[in-house]
Amino acid sequence: MRSYISGVGSFLPPKVVTNFDLEEMMNTSDEWIQQRTGIVQRRWVDENTSTSDLAYEASIKAIENAKIDKSEIDMIIFATLSPDHDFPGTGCFLQHKLGLGEVTVLDIRQQCSGFLYGLSIADKFIRSGEHKHILLVGAEVHSKGLDKTPRGRDVGVLFGDGAGAVIVSSTAITDTETQAHILNTALYADGAHAKELWLPAPSNAMGAERMSQKMLDEGLHYPQMNGRNVFIHATKKMSECLAGVVTKSGYQLKDIDIFLFHQANMRINMKVAELLGIDESKVFNTIQDFGNTTAATIPIGMDCAIKKGVLKKGMLVGSAAFGAGFTWAASVWRY
């Protein structure tokens, strides 16, 4: 008994924010953003839309694509760094909006690596025989938490809002060379670099109060990043992790039909392709249109690739991600 991705869906808010729009806010330029990130535009929610709202829309599409009734879902795994509230987990809000019964709900906080961490968790729960259809969602609302002034331009230009979802279902494998299934996943972390990409506040580790005026004045409630260090570690760890999981799966990199990388920076993805000798035509990118939607980038990319006819049934997919923590992950699956 193995697991496979039986349904895929995504949802992007309708509001498009271009680099030219950001020029008015952050003292930046379209040329600067494109040269350093590859991003042309991103989507931002309106004031009344939450992370679970985006997740709901993507989930409905994934359920329809899987051709199952939502009542057949027996677990939700929700990956996000931008929850509706500190607690309870956003998965519970999604469960209620979907009208599901008393199913297992698990929220995970592995940031940009969240989808692949969730895929590995879903795969193992399916293989245990305890679950048959798991809804795995990556969803983010970044726009409400960005510093949209010149002070925050290095980070603020990177992020967009969106959601992607898949249904991970059980299947009996009779032919591993053609039948859809998840082959392998690999998960890693190194907390020594936790403060290279983080959100310092609110915090229970910085004094008597979770949130103070001093924290607000210093902008500690906005994301902080050492971009150079992130780039160096991301290219190295994604390359190593992906090469290892492909080999573990019994294949070579040349056997992979399409690569779905996390969409943090176009330069990172192209460098990973260069280091591994991957033909850039096999790397499917969406960052130019949607920016970095952290846990949602890979399922959004998968859905876009399917709709564009780039990802087809039977193809072998290689995926890798790197994010805050530092965390990183890779996976190989046949679609």
User: Which CATH number is 58's domain given?
Assistant: 3.40.47.10
Do residues 121 and 214 share a domain?
A: no
Establish if 176 belongs to a structural domain.
no
pLDDT at 49 over 90: yes
Domain that holds residue 257: 181-334
Of the chain, the percentage scoring pLDDT greater than 90 comes to 98
Establish if 248 belongs to a structural domain.
yes
Q: Is 241 a catalytic residue?
A: no
Reported confidence tier of residue 231, pLDDT bands at 50, 70, 90: very high
pTM of the full structure: 0.97
Q: Into how many domains does the chain fold? A: 2
Instruction: From the candidates 262, 265, 285, 304, give the one annotated as an active-site residue.
Output: 262
pLDDT at 176 over 90: no
Average pLDDT, the chain: 97
pLDDT for position 312: 97
pLDDT in tens, 61-84: 999 999 999 999 999 999 999 999
- Taking alpha carbons only, the member of 329, 319, 321 closest to residue 5 is 319
Distance between CA atoms of residues 203 and 165, nearest Å: 30
Do residues 22 and 138 share a domain?
A: yes
Do residues 150 and 241 share a domain?
A: no
Do residues 156 and 218 share a domain?
A: no
Distance between CA atoms of residues 292 and 142, nearest Å: 9
Do residues 21 and 164 share a domain?
A: yes
Residue range 215-228: mean pLDDT, rounded:
96
- Among the candidates 107, 140, 171, a domain finishes at 171
Do residues 112 and 233 share a domain?
A: no
pLDDT for position 42: 98
For 163-217, the DSSP string reads EEEEEEEEE--S-TTTS-EEEEEEEEE-GGGGGGEE---S-SSSSS-SS-HHHHH
Establish if 207 belongs to a structural domain.
yes
Establish if 88 belongs to a structural domain.
yes
pLDDT in tens, 265-289: 999 999 999 999 999 999 999 999 9
pLDDT at 219 over 90: yes
Do residues 107 and 18 share a domain?
A: yes
Do residues 300 and 223 share a domain?
A: yes
Helix segments in 67-113, DSSP class H = 90-98
Q: Is 214 left (phi over 0), alpha (psi -120 to 50) or beta?
A: alpha
pLDDT at 210 over 90: yes
Do residues 193 and 281 share a domain?
A: yes
pLDDT at 45 over 90: yes
pLDDT in tens, 16-29: 999 999 999 999 99
Instruction: From the candidates 184, 269, 285, 292, give the one annotated as an active-site residue.
Output: 292
pLDDT in tens, 140-150: 999 999 999 99
Do residues 139 and 228 share a domain?
A: no
Contacts of 31 (CB under 8 A, 6+ apart): none
Instruction: From the candidates 19, 65, 112, 133, give the one annotated as an active-site residue.
Output: 112
Work out the number of other CB atoms within 10 angstroms of the CB of residue 148. Answer: 15
pLDDT for position 243: 98
Do residues 14 and 131 share a domain?
A: yes
Q: Is 292 a catalytic residue?
A: yes
- Among the candidates 171, 194, 217, a domain finishes at 171
pLDDT in tens, 103-131: 999 999 999 999 999 999 999 999 999 99
In 3-state terms, what secondary structure has residue 219? coil
Establish if 235 belongs to a structural domain.
yes
Distance between CA atoms of residues 27 and 267, nearest Å: 22
pLDDT at 10 over 90: yes
Of the chain, the percentage scoring pLDDT greater than 70 comes to 100
Establish if 206 belongs to a structural domain.
yes
- Among the candidates 171, 192, 222, a domain finishes at 171
Q: Is 262 a catalytic residue?
A: yes
Quickly tell me which residue has 């968790």 as its tokens: 121
Do residues 156 and 194 share a domain?
A: no
Establish if 77 belongs to a structural domain.
yes
